């Protein structure tokens, strides 16, 4: 500051503010630094130091330490602003309920995320979301973690799913990795009409249940199976017939091996190896008994029993049952006419004559 200007300011303060002309309050000249102090004789390193009263800029009656009636222009602001009050302002270009985003390092704009209440919508426009998260567009989840839905129903192609997973459309496998529906026990089951891997085939690993939630075989059908063709590829041969064991497992067998023609001359209990039973009474010239197996579990099995020697008028052939079962309501069936024959078949619980 020029020396003459310093003296003019000092003179002005002394004349205008006589209270500052006391020895303890007058402007202090610190040699060559030429600093001005108000309320202090040692203004330290600042050009102007005010230790008493308020300073007004554009205000004759400053009410604060620094009271500016106008705009303050500065390059920097220091401090966290925690003591600022009555700060009013506005942000332009924003819309209610839209989450703002930075369009540049110094500007904000609205995003495509819309929130109302507890619901959030992404790319749904001004329509309020009706679910906790509503997305209008694709949703991609990447990573090696799991995506879990812990409650409610999930709809694909439908806004109101009625099932845990409700798909309104086709389920395909364009990548060729296969489609699996597996329960916690490792079994696979479905009630959906079609599973297609894109080539017209569907490969399921594990057990498949139709009408059964807990299948115990590769295909477990709780009901009637209807088909146009049946193929059992284990040991097939032309002219073979399908026969069953005691557990219901079927195999192919030659008609001769199931008793196409078996000669008996003593008391005999029949099993699944018999079919045509030729009774020869001439061997012992004595009556004999033929016992049928239990009819339970072998519905449809039939036997033909015949007096082959023509001696049953003299020596009767008595056909009996197991477990007190009946033959057309009777306990026994007697062949008592020479060369007489009967066909008897199981109905699953008893025997019937044909």
Q: Is the pLDDT of residue 62 over 90?
A: no
Question: What confidence tens digit (pLDDT) does each residue in 291-316 have?
Answer: 999 999 888 889 999 999 999 999 99
Q: What are phi and psi of 9, to 5 degrees?
A: -60, -40
- Look up the CATH superfamily of 259-353: gp9 (2.60.120.640)
Round to whole Å and give the CA distance between 293 and 290. 10
350 in Cβ contact with 326 (< 8 Å): yes
Give per-residue pLDDT as tens, 177-230: 555 565 556 555 444 445 555 566 666 677 888 888 888 888 889 999 988 888
Higher pLDDT, 49 or 274: 274
Q: What share of the chain is helix, strand, coil (3-state, %, to 5)?
A: 5, 25, 65
**Residue 89 confidence class, pLDDT cut points 50, 70, 90:** low
Residues 71-90, mean pLDDT to the nearest whole number: 71
Q: Which whole number is the average pLDDT over 3-11?
A: 50
Give exposure, 233-261, as e/b (b: 16+ Cβ within 10 Å). Answer: eeeeeeebeebeeeeeeeeebeeeebbee
Q: In what order do the strands lie in the sheet with 119-122?
A: 98-104, 107-116, 119-122, 133-135
Helix (H, G, I), strand (E, B) or coil at 37: strand
CA distance 281 to 267: 11
Residues of the chain with CATH 2.60.120.640: 259-353
Q: What is the pLDDT of residue 346?
A: 92
pLDDT-based confidence at residue 115 (cuts at 50, 70, 90): confident
Cα torsion through 329, 332, 337, 342, rounded to 10: 60
Q: How far is CA 261 from the centre of its chain?
A: 60
The better pLDDT of the pair 44, 345 is held by 345
Q: What is the pLDDT of residue 298?
A: 87
* Three-state secondary-structure class, residue 256: helix
21 versus 198: the higher-pLDDT residue is: 198
For residue 163, the model assigns a pLDDT of 86
% the chain with pLDDT above 90 = 22
Give the residue with greater pLDDT, 221 vs 255: 221
Specify the higher pLDDT residue, 222 or 45.
222
Most confident segment among 133-147, 248-262, 271-285: 271-285
User: Residue 340 pLDDT > 80, yes or no?
Assistant: yes
Has this prediction a pTM greater than 0.85? no
Determine phi and psi for 243, rounding to 5 degrees. -125, 160
Name which of 127-131, 146-150, 160-164, 202-206 the model is least confident about. Answer: 202-206
Mean pLDDT of 22-35: 46
- Range name among 91-95, 200-204, 240-244 with the lowest pLDDT average: 200-204
Task: Using DSSP bridges, classify how beta strands 317-320 and 302-307 pair: parallel, antiparallel or unpaired.
Answer: unpaired
- The whole-number pLDDT of residue 202 equals 63
Query: Which residue blocks in the chain are alpha helix, DSSP H?
Result: 3-16
The predicted pLDDT at position 21 comes to: 40
């Amino acid at each position: 500051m020029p020396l003459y200007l310093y003296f003019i300011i000092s003179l002005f303060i002394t004349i205008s503010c006589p209270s500052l002309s006391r020895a303890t309050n007058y402007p202090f000249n610190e040699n060559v630094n030429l600093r001005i102090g108000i309320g202090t004789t040692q203004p330290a390193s600042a050009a102007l130091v005010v230790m008493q009263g308020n300073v007004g800029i554009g205000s004759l009656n400053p009410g604060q330490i620094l009271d500016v009636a106008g705009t303050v222009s500065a390059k920097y602001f220091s401090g966290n602003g925690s003591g600022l009050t009555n700060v009013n302002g506005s942000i332009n270009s924003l819309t209610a309920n839209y989450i703002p985003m930075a369009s540049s390092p110094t500007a904000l704009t609205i995003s495509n995320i819309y929130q109302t209440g507890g619901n959030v919508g992404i790319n749904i426009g001004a329509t309020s979301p009706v679910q906790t998260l509503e997305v209008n567009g694709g949703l991609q989840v990447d990573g090696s973690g799991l995506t879990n839905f812990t409650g409610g129903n999930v709809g694909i192609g439908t806004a109101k799913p009625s099932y845990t997973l409700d798909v309104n459309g086709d389920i395909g496998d364009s990548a060729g990795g296969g489609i699996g529906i597996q329960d916690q026990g490792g079994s696979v089951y479905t009630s959906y009409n079609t599973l297609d891997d894109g080539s017209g085939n569907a490969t399921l690993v594990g057990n498949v249940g139709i009408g059964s939630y807990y299948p115990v075989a590769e295909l477990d059908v709780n009901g009637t199976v209807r088909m146009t063709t049946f193929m059992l590829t284990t040991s097939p041969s032309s002219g073979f017939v399908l026969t069953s064991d005691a557990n219901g497992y079927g195999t192919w067998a030659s008609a001769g091996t199931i008793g196409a023609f078996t000669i008996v001359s003593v008391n005999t209990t029949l099993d699944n190896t018999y079919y045509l039973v030729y009774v020869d009474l001439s061997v012992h010239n004595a009556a004999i008994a033929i016992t049928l197996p239990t009819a339970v579990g072998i519905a449809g099995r039939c036997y033909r029993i015949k007096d082959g020697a023509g001696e049953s008028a003299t020596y009767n052939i008595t056909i009996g049952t197991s477990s007190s079962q009946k033959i057309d309501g009777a306990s026994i069936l007697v062949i008592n006419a020479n060369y007489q024959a009967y066909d008897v078949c199981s109905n699953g619980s008893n025997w019937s004559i044909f």
